[in-house]
């Protein structure tokens, strides 16, 4: 990587590294109830017609349309057809059958008169036996009848490959009696944070140590982008320790993200271990997030972010979140435009991603200064303000591109 590499160059590099992994992901069957948010791996064709059988769209009376042409008309009611009724029923011409929504249409009937357009006088002892229904409104053949296959025919496409499965898709599969669906395997992403100073956020702090914010940022970010965290580890700055952890994490993952240890100081463990393995570690024209690296270890792409918490989060938002979201079938487009309400000063030759807070009327204000340790200010922000490479000043009222966090 040359020092002049741009954000787009680096994003392209990562994309090319990850592409073969995506190709090889493959599919797995999952139960429909477990498939929410997964991406269908193949077209699914229906084995059945939908509706499964001809049925009533209304609570009312199944009739022959020809018998109710002139209304009002009184018809003898010869029986009841509730939903779930199993035995086939035949309508006698000139009579009606009381029918419920979803109940199978009787043979011989071609319309349903909704109950609202009828008046029923029950027979002796308030029984349906001997009941008469007076129909006040005529209906044409087919009215309030749901024909078998009118929604979808057997063999038709029920679900297209590449669909991110929402409740409506799963409901359609269920309606067709499908119990399992083939989905794309989710990308397993491993995380290694590095730094001798790190203590897990739920452990005891000691002198000179800090809580590991990046492990939480990356693992939750991976999940939010629809991938799965295979394993998340933390390494000190000892090369042997890092190498051992790296091998374990690579073995369990399709993609690995590291944080820290890629700058130009001493004890830069990620750089020290990965460069001899052919990694490209360098600086790109971006702030925060200048130091970046990539490697392939045992065929697994390793993407190396700098350790400052804001740098890690911005790097993830810019370089991996859109890619992971695309793999997961989530909308990858996460940018928009806003009107500045704070003036901005930026470094020439660096693409800056400043933290912003959006307001009403399409505005955005600066949430903090540009320093990459301001993790609390990052939490107050809801966008990154994307300042182009060559821009040094922006005035209030100018339009900027923002990345929604």
CA distance 16 to 339: 34
Among 51, 221, 226, 307, binds ligand AMP (CB under 6 A): 307
Q: Which residues of 152-185 are buried (b: 16+ CB within 10 A; e: fewer)?
A: beeeeebbeeebbbeeebbebbebbebeebbbbb
Among 106, 261, 289, 290, binds ligand AMP (CB under 6 A): 261
Minimum CB–partner distance for residue 375 and Mg ion (Å): 15
Per CB under 6 A, contacts with ligand AMP among 197-216 are 197-198, 210, 212-214
193 binds ligand AMP (CB under 6 A): yes
Quickly tell me which residue has 């490959």 as its tokens. Answer: 161
Q: Token digits for 306? A: 């700098």
> From ligand AMP, Mg ion, none, which one binds at residue 287 (CB under 5 to 8 Å depending on kind)?
none
> From ligand AMP, Mg ion, none, which one binds at residue 193 (CB under 5 to 8 Å depending on kind)?
ligand AMP
Site string for Mg ion, 182-221 (x = CB under 5 A): -------------x--------------------------
* Residue 56 near residue 147 (C-beta atoms within 8 A): no
Q: How far is CA 157 from CA 77, 173, 215, in A?
A: 41, 11, 42
236 binds ligand AMP (CB under 6 A): no
Per CB under 5 A, contacts with Mg ion among 325-364 are none
Among 260, 293, 301, 322, binds ligand AMP (CB under 6 A): 260
Pairing of strands 132-135, 73-81: antiparallel
253 binds ligand AMP (CB under 6 A): no
Size of the site for ligand AMP (CB under 6 A): 16
Per CB under 5 A, contacts with Mg ion among 245-264 are 260-261
Q: Token digits for 47? A: 């084995």
CA distance 305 to 240: 20
Pairing of strands 286-287, 351-358: parallel
Which residues, in sequence order, are CB contacts of 382 under 8 Å at separation 6+?
A: 356, 357, 358, 404, 405
Pairing of strands 198-199, 280-283: unpaired
- Segment interacting with Mg ion, rule: CB under 5 A, options 69-77, 110-118, 171-179, 306-314: 306-314
Return residues touching Mg ion (CB under 5 A).
195, 260-261, 307
Contact residues for ligand AMP, defined by CB under 6 A: 193, 195, 197-198, 210, 212-214, 259-261, 263, 306-309
């Amino acid at each position: 990587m040359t020092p002049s590499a741009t954000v787009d160059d680096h994003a392209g590099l990562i994309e090319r590294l990850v592409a073969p992994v995506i190709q090889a992901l493959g599919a797995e069957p999952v139960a429909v109830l477990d498939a929410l948010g997964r991406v269908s791996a193949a077209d699914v064709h229906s084995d059945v017609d939908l509706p499964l059988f001809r049925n009533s769209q209304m609570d009312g009376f199944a009739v022959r349309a020809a018998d109710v042409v002139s209304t009002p008309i009184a018809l003898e009611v010869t029986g009841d057809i509730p939903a779930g009724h199993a035995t086939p029923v035949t309508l006698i011409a000139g009579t009606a059958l009381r029918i419920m929504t979803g109940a199978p249409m009787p043979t011989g009937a071609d319309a349903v008169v909704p109950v609202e357009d009828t008046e029923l006088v029950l027979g002796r002892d308030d029984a349906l036996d001997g009941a008469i229904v007076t129909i006040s409104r005529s209906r044409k053949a087919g009215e309030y009848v749901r024909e078998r296959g009118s929604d979808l025919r057997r063999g038709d496409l029920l679900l297209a490959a590449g669909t991110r499965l929402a409740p409506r898709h799963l409901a359609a599969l269920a309606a067709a009696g499908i119990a399992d669906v083939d989905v794309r395997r989710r990308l397993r992403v491993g995380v290694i944070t590095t730094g001798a100073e790190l203590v897990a956020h739920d452990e005891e702090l000691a002198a000179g140590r800090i809580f590991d914010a990046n492990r939480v940022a990356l693992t939750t970010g991976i999940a939010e982008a629809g991938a799965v965290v295979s394993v998340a580890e933390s390494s000190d700055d000892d090369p042997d320790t890092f190498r051992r952890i790296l091998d374990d994490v690579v073995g369990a993952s399709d993609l690995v993200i590291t944080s820290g240890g890629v700058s130009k100081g001493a004890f830069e463990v990620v750089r020290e271990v990965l460069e001899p393995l052919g990694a490209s570690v360098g600086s790109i024209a971006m702030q925060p997030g200048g130091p970046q690296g990539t490697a392939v270890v045992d065929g697994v792409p390793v993407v190396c972010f700098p350790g400052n918490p804001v740098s890690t989060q911005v790097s993830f938002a810019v370089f991996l979140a859109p890619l992971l979201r695309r793999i997961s079938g989530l909308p990858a487009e996460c940018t928009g435009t806003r009107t500045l309400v704070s003036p901005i000063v930026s470094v020439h030759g660096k693409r800056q991603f400043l933290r912003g807070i959006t307001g009403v009327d399409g505005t955005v204000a600066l949430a903090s200064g540009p320093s990459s340790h301001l993790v609390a200010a990052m939490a107050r922000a809801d966008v990154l303000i994307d300042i182009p490479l060559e821009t040094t000043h922006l005035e209030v009222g100018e339009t900027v591109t923002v990345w929604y966090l």
